[in-house]
Amino acid sequence: MTCGSIFDPARIRKELAAIETKLADPFMWSNPAASQPLMRDRKRLEQLVADDNELVRRSGDIEAYFELAREGEDVLAELEPAIKDLATFAEDLEAKTMLSGETDPLNAIVTVHPGAGGTESQDWAEMLLRMYLRWAEQQGFKTEMNDYQDGDEAGIKSATFTIMGEYAFGMLAGESGVHRLVRISPFDSAKRRHTSFASVFVSPEIDDSIEIDIKQDDLRIDTYRSGGKGGQHVNTTDSAVRITHLPTNIVVQCQNERSQHKNREKAMKMLRSRLYEYELDKKRAESKKLEDSKLEINFGSQIRSYVLQPYRMAKDHRTKVEVGDVDKVLDGYLEPFLRGYLLAKRRGTTSSPGDDDLDV
């Protein structure tokens, strides 16, 4: 079994004890900016300690099965699934050890945009939206739609939603980029094969523990009538809010809430997250580590391809991870790609996106 990281229970327990000491100081609770990050770190470390205890327990069970086998007992039926479950648990634990960035534990704000191609790409963008919502559901995460624009005939023109759960951003950060679909078009009466593109951008939902300075003079705030899905009130009042950050030209919008005030509050939170990621991107660009999410939504820039015709396969062009059951992937099975990206990032073996050897 390959290993991309080191799980050090002794170090984790030592860090947890140090945090407990800090949190025992009564003056700490009068300073939320200092206490909240510590509480978040404590929760993370407590989970790692629990994982270590579970790892020891499962290993002990397998040792017990081997001991029974040496005594002549038939334990194969119990031993095989126990080893398989331990391997899966160890892989999940390995992935957790690679999520150590400042923003990795935060919620994820995900935006999906179709590329050129009209209905084809808009339908593909909606398929991607469903894939990520299904993945979040399978992880036990909550989701909240912030902005949803229907397509002209089918699919979507854009969608922005928040995935709320521990390490949501850390797990999905590698999904930013261009995604390609190859299939027989359901919108083509001649049943020809089409290639469609859509982009995904993932940013962390920045909390109050990370300071982002936004000047009011740098903002242009517009209100408009919601055009998305919703009740009568949503569709007949100017409750939707669009905020433009003039220095960077970053635009965010929210129309999900009935109240203009709530839409503005959520849009500001989205802007904080986008500005944080914007500053990180500038630093990454200096060291050539900028994610490919801002590449042109076209050939040669995709990070992953989903081929339904002439064969069936989903393949990540950076890590070379492949999954034959592409329907399962589109239904939210992203674990091989998410873990593959984390391992490749740790080892520094991710390659540039492109067509590489996936000939369609």
Q: Write down the pLDDT at residue 206.
A: 78
Whether 235 shows a pLDDT value over 70: the answer reads: no
Residue 137 CB neighbours (<10 A):
13
Q: Write down the pLDDT at residue 173.
A: 92
Mean pLDDT of 90-98: 77
Q: Write down the pLDDT at residue 219.
A: 92
Q: Write down the pLDDT at residue 1.
A: 36
∠ at Cα 13 (11, 19), nearest 5°? 105
Supply the CATH number for residue 285's domain.
3.30.70.1660
Is residue 2 situated within a structural domain? no
Is residue 160 situated within a structural domain? yes
Higher pLDDT, 4 or 115: 115
Q: Write down the pLDDT at residue 47.
A: 83
Torsion angle defined by CA atoms of residues 22, 25, 30 and 34, in that order, rounded to the nearest 10 degrees:
-10
Whether 103 shows a pLDDT value over 90: the answer reads: no
Q: Are residues 78 and 102 in the same domain?
A: no
Q: Write down the pLDDT at residue 318.
A: 92
Whether 128 shows a pLDDT value over 90: the answer reads: yes
307 strand-pairing partners: 182, 313
Mean pLDDT of 184-200: 89
Predicted confidence band at 200 (pLDDT cuts at 50, 70, 90)?
Answer: very high
CB 52 within 8 A of CB 9: yes
- Domain-ending residue, one of 75, 97, 119: 97
Sheet holding 250-254, edge to edge: 219-224, 240-245, 250-254
pLDDT averaged over every residue in the chain:
84
Joined tokens for residue 167: 């390490």
Strand positions, DSSP E, the chain: 108-114, 142-150, 156-164, 177-184, 193-204, 219-224, 240-245, 250-254, 302-307, 313-316, 322-323
Q: Are residues 106 and 89 in the same domain?
A: no
Is residue 239 situated within a structural domain? yes
HSE-up of residue 137 (Cα within 13 Å, Cβ side)? 8
Whether 209 shows a pLDDT value over 90: the answer reads: no
* Long-range contacts (CB closer than 8 Å, 24 or more residues apart) made by 244-250: 244/219, 244/220, 245/214, 245/218, 245/219, 245/271, 245/274, 245/275, 246/218, 246/219, 246/220, 247/218, 248/275, 248/278, 250/274, 250/275, 250/278
Q: Are residues 171 and 61 in the same domain?
A: no
- Tens digit of pLDDT for each residue in 299-323? 456 899 999 988 999 999 999 999 9
Higher pLDDT, 39 or 3: 39
Q: Are residues 73 and 104 in the same domain?
A: no
Whether 272 shows a pLDDT value over 80: the answer reads: yes
Q: Are residues 240 and 288 in the same domain?
A: yes
- Tens digit of pLDDT for each residue in 66-91? 999 999 999 899 999 999 999 888 87
Q: Are residues 234 and 289 in the same domain?
A: yes
Q: Are residues 71 and 153 in the same domain?
A: no
Q: How many helices (H) and strands (E) does the chain have?
A: 9, 11
3-state secondary structure of 346: helix
Supply the CATH number for residue 90's domain.
1.20.58
Is residue 61 situated within a structural domain? yes
| Separation between Cα atoms, residue 303 and residue 316, nearest integer Å | 6
- Domain-ending residue, one of 97, 115, 132: 97
Parallel, antiparallel or unpaired: strands 302-307 and 177-184: parallel
Q: Are residues 227 and 342 in the same domain?
A: yes
- Domain-ending residue, one of 64, 97, 130: 97
302 strand-pairing partners: 178
Count the domains in the chain: 2
Among residues of the chain, what percentage have pLDDT more than 90? Answer: 48
Whether 32 shows a pLDDT value over 90: the answer reads: no
Give the domain extent around 264: 98-360
Whether 164 shows a pLDDT value over 90: the answer reads: yes
Predicted confidence band at 292 (pLDDT cuts at 50, 70, 90)?
Answer: very low
Q: Are residues 121 and 63 in the same domain?
A: no
Q: Write down the pLDDT at residue 290.
A: 36
Q: Are residues 241 and 340 in the same domain?
A: yes
Predicted confidence band at 92 (pLDDT cuts at 50, 70, 90)?
Answer: confident
Is residue 4 situated within a structural domain? no
Is residue 339 situated within a structural domain? yes
Q: Are residues 136 and 191 in the same domain?
A: yes
Is residue 1 situated within a structural domain? no
- Tens digit of pLDDT for each residue in 334-348? 999 998 999 888 776
Q: Write down the pLDDT at residue 96.
A: 73
Residues 6+ apart with CB under 8 A from 189: none
Is residue 286 situated within a structural domain? yes
Higher pLDDT, 22 or 292: 22
Mean pLDDT of 20-44: 82
Whether 355 shows a pLDDT value over 50: the answer reads: no
Q: Are residues 192 and 258 in the same domain?
A: yes
Predicted confidence band at 353 (pLDDT cuts at 50, 70, 90)?
Answer: low
178 strand-pairing partners: 199, 302
Nearest by Cα to 325 from 313, 307, 337: 313
Q: Write down the pLDDT at residue 156.
A: 95
Q: Write down the pLDDT at residue 334.
A: 96
Q: Write down the pLDDT at residue 207.
A: 64
